[in-house]
Structure 1
Amino acid sequence: MSHTLEIIPARPAPSTLRTRITGTRILGYALVCLWLGLGVALLWSVVSNWDMDKVSRYGPRYLNGLATTLALTAISITLGAVLSVPVTFARMAKNPILSAISYTYVYVFRSTPMLLQIFLIYYGLGSFRSQIEAVGLWWFFREAWYCALFAMTLNTAAYQAEILRGAIESVPRGQTEGAKSLGLPTSITFWKIILPQALIVALRPYGNEIIFMIKGSAVVAVVTVLDLMGQTRYAFSRTFDYQTYLWAAIFYLAIVETLRHTWAAIEARLTRHLKR
């Protein structure tokens, strides 16, 4: 009769654990100090070289570009949310044709850069001007703003469809089985039981998607849309002052941080019953 010896690794001594924790904290504090130092240096650079003439000249353009960025993001996110619903159901459908079409759409738009998609829509479809004029849509595709909005909507709809599909499929199947045992209709089960739980799961990914779209919207400047980045490029081309990009960075940082804290408050409010 043979015996097998099981070797159990020795636990690190408490002093070793304290040393590791202390080292991690020191590294964390050092990184925080580094970021604070960089922030102070940038702030000092802006304050010490402040030029009120440039602010008065280009400030209104920045505000106009900020409004364009927010409008593009808000409209594309809203239209993308509407479009993502049928795409989600098609992805989950048992019909292989619908499932294949929706999968291809999601795969293509999630696997290619949004900049490339804007180029294909703005410049690519522009090559078919006569055909587009024949169906009366040239007024739409000749404008860079509409093309950028169209590309951003298709892009975010693909991501939102996957977010919604993953959230719905994350709901335990026991919820559906319990509803069936009570004799609830399928529609009531989905809208009253499955969807509310799925939206709670999708809250954080939806917030991340909105932030991604705000930052990603900067690429529309390459097709002559004067959003925040477009106005920044205009100001830099006239002044050759690197601070014009610092101003844009501050605007983007303020938008993202405001949205992040607002979304965190909304999430905390909607999930307060889960923390009891």
Structure 2
Amino acid sequence: MEQLNTWFTQLLADNEIFTAQTIGYYAHGLANTAQLVLLSLLIGLMLAVPLAIGRSSSRPWVKWPIFLYTYVFRGTPLLIQLYIIYYGVVFVDGIQDTWLWLILEKPFYPALIAFTLNTAAYTTEIFRGAIKATPRGEIEAARAYGMSQAKMLRRIVLPSAFRRALPAYGNEVIFMLHASAIASVVTIMDLTGAARFVYARFYAPFDAFLFVAAIYLCLTFGILYLFRYLEKRLLAHLKPQT
């Protein structure tokens, strides 16, 4: 009888996990995760394009500082970068007396900075490789047509490089989605943070974390479908004609 009562009590507790309130926590966490990932990817992409062009330059004073930046951020864990930015900003002399402190004291913005710098480093190398892989014939044809260097980059090199970089960049987007789970360590209520909160309240780790794992899985499949669709549209000319 005691075991039956224990089982029944646990069953009731399990049923209380997915209430409107707890689903609201997950929804809030999903919104924070989406905002953090989308902003970091967007800003990181905007930074990565000029950095990739500079990284492909033949001028040492241009490419080597960019190489050092990408080497450091790709060679160290994102969690360590997040800790350094989140906790280290406090020790910058005088920053607490400036308007920047009103922004940086909130955990979202240090996390955004860390995620942006990390994804920009990876995306820079992805696009650099795609730029370097531009067929020599396309470049020579553009020069023969009389295009300037800037126009050739804008109309020939970058569109071609973007199409080649699309599969690798899709993997980077998925990596950033999964890496966003560490944002909860700096008190951001993301998806993983919501699961931790539900677990701490109901002591149900399997229900809390399996549910959030299912959400991540659905988001991952959605991203995969989106990039496969883009690859199908943008790389259709590379498929052999039957």
Structure 1 equivalent of residue 3 of structure 2: none
User: Is 2:212 aligned against 1:212?
Assistant: no
| One-letter amino acid of the structure 2 residue matched with residue 132 of structure 1 | I
How far the C-alpha of 1:218 sits from its partner, in A, is 0.3
Task: Please show how residues 53-68 of structure 1 align to structure 2 within 5 Å.
Answer: 53-56=16-19, 57-68=21-32
Any conservation in 1 of the 2:14–2:204 contact (CA below 8 Å)? no
TM-score, scaled to structure 1: 0.78
Deviations 1:216-266 (A, max 9, x none): 000010000010001111111111112101111101001001111121112
- Partner letter of residue 74 of structure 1? L
Residues 141-152 of structure 1 aligned to structure 2 (within 5 Å): 141-152=104-115
1:87 aligned onto 2:51: yes
1:185-224 matches, cutoff 5 A: 185-224=148-187
- The DSSP-based 3-state class of the residue aligned with 2:17 is helix
In the alignment, is residue 158 of structure 1 matched against residue 121 of structure 2?
A: yes
Deviations 1:40-60 (Å, cap 9, x if unpaired)? xxxxxxxx9993421113111
Structure 2 residue identity aligned to 1:273 = H
Letter in 2 for 1:165: R
Distance in 2 of aligned mates of 1:134 and 1:173: 54
Offset of residue 135 of structure 1:
4.5
Question: What secondary structure is seen at the aligned counterpart in 2 of 1:109?
Answer: helix
Q: Deviations over 1:147-178 (max 9, x none)?
A: 10110000000011111111011011222112
Separation (CA, whole Å) in 2 of partners of 1:238 and 1:121: 30
Q: CA RMSD in A?
A: 1.7
Within the candidate set 157, 168, 175, 2:138 is matched to 175
TM-score (norm 2): 0.89
Please identify runs of 4+ aligned residues in structure 1 that moved more than 4 A.
Answer: none
Which one-letter code corresponds to 1:221 in the other structure? S
Residue 70, structure 1, aligned to residue 34, structure 2: yes
Is 1:271 equivalent to 2:235 in the alignment?
yes
Does 1:261 pair with 2:200? no
1:118 deviation in Å? 0.4
Task: Tell me whether 1:240 sits opposite 2:203 in the alignment.
Answer: yes
Cα shift at 1:194: 1.6
Code of the residue aligned with 1:223 in structure 2: it is V
Is it true that 1:103 corresponds to 2:67 in the alignment?
Answer: yes
- Matched residues in 1 for 2:84 and 2:126: separation? 25
Q: Whole-Å Cα distance in 2 between the matches of residues 50 and 70 of structure 1? A: 30
CA distance in 2, matches of 1:211, 1:76: 13
Q: What SS does structure 2 have at the residue aligned with 1:55?
A: coil
Over 3 Å counting, the alpha-carbon distance change for 1:49 and 1:213 in structure 2 is: farther
Q: Is the 8 A contact 2:90 2:96 kept in 1?
A: no
Alignment partners' CA distance in 1, 2:25 and 2:108: 17
Q: How many residues get paired?
A: 228
2:84 to 98, 105, 120: 120
Partner SS, residue 226 of structure 1:
coil
